[in-house]
Amino acid sequence: MTAKLEEGIFISFEGIEGTGKTTQARLLSERLVEKGYEVILTHEPGGTVIGNRIREILLHVDHMGMSYMTELLLYNADRAQHLNEKILPAVNDGKIVVTDRFTDSTIAYQGYGRGIDIELLKSIDLIAAGGIRPDLTILFDIDVETGLKRNREINKVDRLELEAIEFHKKVREGYLKIAEAEAERIKIVDASLPLKDVSEKVWEIVRWRLGI
C-alpha cells in the first residue's frame, strides 16, 4: 500500500566530493519506498532533460576556462527547471523528494569556494528558485583528502574535482558555516563512518523529520 503524505517533504543531500551522498540518497529512497512512500529521487545539476544538457556543460573537463559567473548562472538555470518541472509538482502531490544537491551547493561552491558575494547569490536564487529551501538537509561531512581519494579510486573525474585542494577546503568550511547558521534544517552526518552506519544515521534523522 502506498502512503501519500498530506504535504510532501523535500529532502536534500549535500557534501563535498567523495562523501557518498549519492549512494546514501539512493539507499534512503529505496528504504522509503519499502515503507510504502511515494518517492522521487533526483539530482543537481540535472534531473530533467534540459538539466542534463546543462550538467554536461558544467562538469565537462574541456570547460576549465568557464567563468565563475557563467558557472553560477548555469547552475541556477538548471535549478529553475528542476524545481518547476520535477520537485514542486511532486511535493505538491504529497510525495517525498530526495535530491542529491540543491541551493546549499551553490552557496558552498560558488560562494565560499569561488568567492562570489553571498548576497548576490541569494538575490539570483530568489529569481531562479524563489528562495525555496528543502524541509530537511543532510550534510555529509568528511575531510577533503579522503573524499577526493575515494573518487580517484572509482575513477570519477569532472571539472570541479580537478580544482586545487584549497578550493575544496573552502567549500567544506562553507558547508559547515551554512549548517551552523541553519541547524534546525541542516543535520550533519560523519561520512567517514562505514556505509551501513551512515545509512542508519540518515534513517534516524529522516524518521524524526517524518514523525514515524
Q: Tell me the mean pLDDT in the region 146-151.
A: 71
For residue 2, the model assigns a pLDDT of: 46
Between CA 184 and CA 50 the distance in angstroms is: 33
pLDDT digits (tens, 9 = 90+) for 25-53: 999 999 999 999 999 999 999 999 999 99
For residue 105, the model assigns a pLDDT of: 96
pLDDT at 3 over 60: no
Residue 40: phi, psi to the nearest 5?
Answer: -115, 115
Instruction: Write the CATH number of the domain with boundaries 9-210.
Output: 3.40.50.300
Q: Tell me the mean pLDDT in the region 116-122.
A: 97
Domain boundaries, the chain: 9-210
Note if the bond before 134 is cis, omega within 30 degrees: no
Alpha helices by DSSP H, listed for the chain, are: 21-34, 49-59, 68-82, 88-92, 103-106, 118-129, 144-153, 165-181, 195-210
For residue 181, the model assigns a pLDDT of: 97
Distances (CA, A) of 199 to 173, 194, 195, 212: 23, 9, 6, 17
Tell me the pTM.
0.90
Q: Tell me the mean pLDDT in the region 186-209.
A: 96
Q: Tell me the mean pLDDT in the region 84-91.
A: 96
User: For the chain, how big is the Rg over CA atoms in Å?
Assistant: 16
For residue 43, the model assigns a pLDDT of: 97
Cβ 47 vs Cβ 88: under 8 Å: no
96-100 and 9-15 as β-strands: parallel, antiparallel, unpaired?
parallel
pLDDT at 77 over 80: yes
Cβ 159 vs Cβ 180: under 8 Å: no
Average pLDDT, the chain: 91
Here the cell at position 181 is 547558521
